[in-house]
Structure 1
């Protein structure tokens, strides 16, 4: 049954991405709403196993796609972010199918441990927002390059001004940075021994990503960083964050056959 829901979600995400490409906002919210509901139904069957959570690499990708798409759906009600769906929704369509075809699941995590649950929630929410921020950074850089070519004037008329794109970029980074801070703090609540739980490299890389985003926000407030400088910092921070999470999961679960829990 989860495969059926995953297929429905993937098809509807692809349709939403196509409509975003054609800049057809009408009906996009409805299509995306049904896609998110189908995706949530699939995840509930793939991730919850009795009184445990089972989150492998494929499930992590799917959850990341779901949460970032959900946040984009919410933000689009008040901000002109529909263009991000051109890239984001097709990628999420592929991620939604991942758990149905990759059967190497992660280690069970007890739902009764509220500290772990809180940490996971903060971790996924921060990753979702910063995923959106990275796509927004790429879109901002693309818009900056398009502005230098007069031939793109027809396309530019349908896109938000560059100042609006940069403002939205830093809003996403700020809230993502805040949630990443909560992720690090909540992790400290239940990690008793970093070496015993094989979390040293993940913690160090996560902190490096936190520092990168923090420096970017500081540079924005103090020196007015923008444009390509801001994009480079944003994408660098996101790359380190992806390495911290997915790199750690690949090494621990696929290579060493261990769990961080």
Structure 2
């Protein structure tokens, strides 16, 4: 990990700088300028990638401890946010997600794990990759739902300045939210199917909670998408269901790692 320390410091500073800039823009303290935020966040993601490589690369396999897994997921989350923001107006989520990614870099440096795994088949790699993509996209959706809730509250109170001036129009925000949920559900479905196909004994004691929580999150997001398209669900209901599903997925992804860390 020592060779990665300069990159860890760089990633942390870049992430927090970009996140703070975006937070100040949401509060209308500075002008909203997406390109510098994308540039800083992109450099942070590149530096973070080096940290991820050094932290998970082990002599006889891959280190997927709690902090390493969290760092890997947060790197994917930050990288996706920056890339997608080049095409969709979701950079506002950087105010939350990039500092979280910075914290994950600090955690993997200060609290390294030692859970070495090896012998990954192509099917297992597909399961891991789709799980991380699903978590990253649905985390972005969770932050978009929080921003949407603030926007709805401001409009309800007829506060037309501040965050309302920075975010896209309400209808566009809702569309972005459900696009993120839709893609997140796509990869979550692939993760669940590949888990049943390629993971031995998916309902073993150390995986049962991850499996059940992931299935619960899948059902919840599925019902939300159905309700949105068939019943017109939106607004605060969409916010609550998104946050609930994201919380289940967080417990499934990191809770299983925490349990395995305590057991082993």
Please tell me the TM-score bracket, short chain as reference.
over 0.9
**How many residues are treated as equivalent by the alignment?**
255
Deviations 1:217-252 (A, max 9, x none): 000111010000111111111111111222222122
Q: In the alignment, what sits opposite 1:149?
A: 157
- How far apart in 2 are the matches of 1:5 and 1:128? 22
- How far apart in 1 are the matches of 2:46 and 2:218? 32
- Out of 189, 206, 211, the residue aligned to residue 197 of structure 2 is 189
Note the C-alpha offset of 1:158. 2.4
- Out of 231, 237, 255, the residue aligned to residue 229 of structure 1 is 237
Deviations 1:118-155 (A, max 9, x none): 11111101100011011111111111001123344254
* TM-score, structure 2 as length reference: 0.91
Query: Which shows bigger deviation, 192-201 or 12-21?
Result: 192-201
8 Å CA contact 1:58–1:105 kept in 2: the answer is: no
8 Å CA contact 2:19–2:96 kept in 1: the answer is: yes
Q: In the alignment, what sits opposite 2:184?
A: 176
Summarize the Cα distance change of 1:196–1:213 in structure 2 as closer, same or farther, 3 Å threshold: closer
Q: In the alignment, what sits opposite 1:60?
A: 69
Summarize the Cα distance change of 1:158–1:103 in structure 2 as closer, same or farther, 3 Å threshold: closer
Q: In the alignment, what sits opposite 1:165?
A: 173
Summarize the Cα distance change of 1:147–1:189 in structure 2 as closer, same or farther, 3 Å threshold: same
- Out of 86, 93, 112, the residue aligned to residue 77 of structure 1 is 86
Deviations 1:79-119 (A, max 9, x none): 1112111111112111111111003332x222552222111
Q: In the alignment, what sits opposite 2:19?
A: 17
Note the C-alpha offset of 1:27. 2.0
- How far apart in 2 are the matches of 1:29 and 1:245? 27
8 Å CA contact 1:51–1:112 kept in 2: the answer is: no
Q: In the alignment, what sits opposite 1:213?
A: 221
Unaligned residue ranges in structure 1 (runs of 5+): none
* TM-score, structure 1 as length reference: 0.92
- Out of 229, 248, 261, the residue aligned to residue 256 of structure 2 is 248
Cα RMSD over matched residues? 1.6
Summarize the Cα distance change of 1:155–1:134 in structure 2 as closer, same or farther, 3 Å threshold: closer
